[in-house]
Amino acid sequence: MRFVPASRPHGRQGPGRPRARNSGRPDLSPTDQILDAAAALFIDQGYAATTTRAIADRVGVTQPSIYYHFGSKEDILAELLRRIIQRPLEYGEALAGRDDVRAAVRLAALVRCDVHELSSAEHNVGSLFLLPEVRQKRFASFRADRARLQMLYRRLIDACIEEDDLSPLPTVQHAQEESVRSYLADAVFGLVESVISIREDRPVTDRALIEAALQASALRILGYEGGALRVVVEQAELVATDMLPETVTAAAEVPSSL
Q: Quick check: 5 pLDDT over 70? A: no
pLDDT of amino acid 246:
59
Question: At 40, which CATH number?
Answer: 1.10.10.60
pLDDT tens across 104-133, in order?
Answer: 999 999 999 999 999 999 899 999 999 999
pLDDT of residue 72: 97
Q: Higher pLDDT residue, 220 or 240?
A: 220
Please check whether residue 9 is in contact with residue 133, taking contact to mean a CB–CB distance below 8 angstroms.
Answer: no
Examine the domain organization and report whether 149 and 230 are in the same domain: yes
Clarify whether residues 66 and 128 are in a common domain: no
At 182, is the pLDDT very low, low, confident or very high (cuts 50, 70, 90)? very high
Q: Are residues 217 and 122 in the same domain?
A: yes
**How many folded domains does the chain comprise?**
2
User: What's the pLDDT score for residue 204?
Assistant: 84
For residue 115, give its domain range. 82-247
Q: Alpha helix locations (H) across 46-139?
A: 52-59, 63-69, 73-96, 103-120
- Residue that terminates a domain, selected from 45, 71, 97: 71
pLDDT of residue 205: 86
pLDDT of residue 251: 38
Residue 95 DSSP one-character state: H
Q: Smallest Cα–Cα separation from 223: which of 184, 182, 254?
A: 184
DSSP 105: H
In a domain, 76, yes or no: no
Global pTM reads 0.83
At residue 258, the pLDDT reads 56
